[in-house]
Amino acid sequence: MTKADQFNTPAGPRQLYDCTADLLRASMSDLGQPPYRAGQILEWVYHRQARSFDEMTNLSKDLRRQLAEQFCVYESEVVHVSRAADGVTKFLLRWADGETTECVSIPSGERRTACLSTQVGCPVGCVFCASGMGGVRRNLSAGQIVEQAMVAAYQTDDDTRLSNVVFMGIGEPLANYDATVQAIRTINAAWGMNIGARKITISTVGLPEQILRLADENLQVTLALSLHAPNDELRARLIPWARRVSIAQLIEAARDYFAKTGREVTLEYVLLGDLNDRPEHARQLADVARRMRCNVNLILYNPVEGVSYARPQSQVAHAFLHLLRELGGNAHLRQSRGLEVDGACGQLRRQQL
């Protein structure tokens, strides 16, 4: 096995969610079927939520048999579901090779958001995060990423339509670039989940080359940079991968992204008690924010068992927010959700492992 092979999805029947409309039409041609059959199948899968080919009653039994031999609709098994009092529902999925990932459904009024993973484990290794404990096992395929969105959309008690998608689960999306972009196109496509690109967010620790590449994809998605520290020294302590990239490089990449897409970048900043929540950090963060078109999303740390970092006191967090705004930062404090269901990325998977 080569080093690249360890990140490939195991072989087996092709996942239907991996197929674009054009690829599925080509597959129909190979089976001697008219192209419109592809549209029927996509209608069943994305809009009627069919879980198997047997449910597709306007297809012949012979075609359904042929499709079942070549494709699977759902590859994963939902092995654990956690539901919080605030409506947040977290799913632990087991894939055919036995690996597990998480996805989350987050309701908020008339809006519902799916939070998706892009890798099994995470290579970044943020010291306060459960996702990277144990490193990265492999990438998810585009179809496996889309499948999580379908699980989050249709396996909840809430019948509100899925309106937003965030790539903020386990893994670094831009380290699995091709699969992430293909999944976005499927989630965005009219023949797919039909969710507007401006309602899709990619969260990244900051890979400048991939950010520049994403800016040229002609996608109107929101880019969120997981900053978590306002200076390079502290950021390198919190995020091992940050030793490769300076904040100055991230600022340049974010400026380029805004220039090409017109989309403001979001700076994600997890507040850690007595570590990055002091007034001097707010001043430094305001300076970073002034150097690009962005808004700052402050997040209260979600404690992880076995990790020594703590959630800041509420008055400290609000003082940080107030100072940041006084200094001209467009900042918000994100409401904490799903605390009683191991809401932070990777916690449920780690607990089950």
Task: Specify burial of residue 173 (Cβ count, 10 A radius: 0-12, 13-18, 19+).
Answer: buried
DSSP 286-310: HHHHHTSSEEEEEEE----TT----
Contacts of 74 (CB under 8 A, 6+ apart): 51, 147, 150
Annotated catalytic sites, by residue?
Answer: 102, 345
Closest residue by Cα to residue 184 from 195, 168, 176? 195
What is the spatial distance between Cα 294 and Cα 261, in angstroms, rounded to a whole number?
13
Contacts of 203 (CB under 8 A, 6+ apart): 166, 167, 168, 173, 224, 225, 226, 268
- Answer for the pair 55, 40: CB distance below 8 angstroms, yes or no: no
Structure tokens at 237: 């302590």
Contacts of 239 (CB under 8 A, 6+ apart): 124, 125, 126, 127, 205, 226, 228, 229
What is the spatial distance between Cα 166 and Cα 205, in angstroms, rounded to a whole number?
14
User: What are the CA-CA distances from residue 107 to residues 10, 13, 87, 149 (Å)?
Assistant: 33, 33, 6, 14
Structure tokens at 279: 């007034």
Pairing of strands 71-72, 14-15: parallel
Q: Which helix (H) or strand (E) holds 32?
A: none
Contacts of 96 (CB under 8 A, 6+ apart): 10, 12, 75
What is the spatial distance between Cα 330 and Cα 289, in angstroms, rounded to a whole number?
8
